[in-house]
Amino acid sequence: MPEIRAEIVLPTSSLRKDLAFFTNVLGMRLDMIYPADNPAVAVFSGHGLRVRLDAGAGGGPAFLTIRTDDPDAFADGARELVSPGGTKVAVDALNPPLVLPPTEHTFVVRRLADQAPWVIGRAGMQYRDLIPSRLGGSIIASHIRIPDGGPVPDMVHFHKVGFQLIFCYRGWVDVVYEDQGPPIRLTAGDCFIQPPEIRHRVLEASDGIEVIEIGVPAEHVTEIDHGMELPTPHLRPDREWQGQRFVHNVAARAEWGPFRLPGYVCRDTTINTNTKGVAGVQVVRKGQGEPVWAVHDADILFGFVMEGAVTLEGEGRDPVRLTPGDAFVIPPGMRTRWSGPGDDMEILEVSLPGDFATQFAG
């Protein structure tokens, strides 16, 4: 195999002075310089990068970002520098803390019948946005599908996220997770909690697979791990990632009990317990009794209609008959009622936090 190198070319107006800047200030290694009598090109490597300073290169000043786990110890703590030759350098944290934006509370109804566009996302999967406003960036809810089943062109990766739910709506999907044994098949009604930064890979899916994915915050980084091979050799079901445990909840084993609203029953997915109250996930069906008006104090309360139909009534809003594929968000303090549920109605409800209060409003 021939040797191949890739370089970033940076223009410089002062190569001689840049030599000291790139070696002494940025801590890079000088690998090449020429011509000897009047240097015009110098090549440096370091921090995972190879750059070529070229006095003859055109264009405006170049921009370089250096990320480190200790920015205060790099370049005497400077966060913005300019080399003598004009290159602008920004120094930032390698792993900045996750920022959870404040929730912009609003009432949301997203109808499948409105034909919102499906867009092609990661690994060729099709995404439909269920909360277009993202509630100010606090959450993303996606309806994801893969029309043609088979192997999925995925890589071992992880998400820098505060909370992430994968709920299988239709079909099945095989996924392998770090420290959780061999590949796991998620079937309709089952769900995973993917703790922050757990390594995983989607392997194969059935024809017509559909999942609901919830992520907090809305914008979060997905990073490829080229060094890890899955499955890992050890089974560690009690391992925690940032205080959260991996959850594989199987619908067929669930027990049904009272829901927070009269007239309905639910099955708990154990996610509230395993995330230590970060989020709660329930699957809700019609029960006995009449629905009532209620208000809640959850920061985020999201619902997705999986089967059947129900009418969502909100104070000051026109009633909306919701059917499969429809999603909604009810803000805290808003008086609402789920009325007229069909016998086969089934709703996925996700709350953040997992524990919150519901009061009946008469």
pLDDT at 123 over 70: no
- List Cβ neighbours of 322 (8 Å cut-off, separation of 6 or more): 109, 111, 305, 309, 310, 311, 312, 328
Give yes or no: residues 69 and 152 share one domain: no
Q: Of 248, 274, 299, which closes a domain? A: 248
Per the CB < 8 A criterion, the answer to whether 223 and 200 are in contact is no
| pLDDT-based confidence at residue 120 (cuts at 50, 70, 90) | confident
Q: Of 248, 270, 297, which closes a domain? A: 248
Give yes or no: residues 114 and 242 share one domain: yes
Q: Which residue range is the domain that position 303 belongs to?
A: 253-360
The strands making up 49-54's β-sheet, listed across from edge to edge, are 8-11, 49-54, 41-46, 29-34
One-letter amino acid for residue 299 of the chain = D
Tell me the pLDDT tens digit for each residue of 159-171: 999 999 999 999 9
CATH code at position 35: 3.10.180.10
Give yes or no: residues 69 and 158 share one domain: no
Tell me the pLDDT tens digit for each residue of 304-321: 999 999 999 999 999 999
Q: Is residue 282 part of a domain?
A: yes
| pLDDT-based confidence at residue 45 (cuts at 50, 70, 90) | very high
Give yes or no: residues 243 and 288 share one domain: no
Greatest alpha-carbon pair distance for the chain in Å reads 92
Query: What CA–CA distance (Å, rounded) separates 339 from 312?
Result: 6
CATH code at position 335: 2.60.120.10
Q: Is residue 102 part of a domain?
A: no
Q: Of 93, 128, 154, which closes a domain? A: 93
Q: Is residue 100 part of a domain?
A: no
- What's the confidence (pLDDT) of residue 113? 85
pLDDT at 335 over 90: yes
> Which pTM does this prediction carry?
0.87
Strand partners, 306: none
Count how many domains the chain has.
Answer: 3
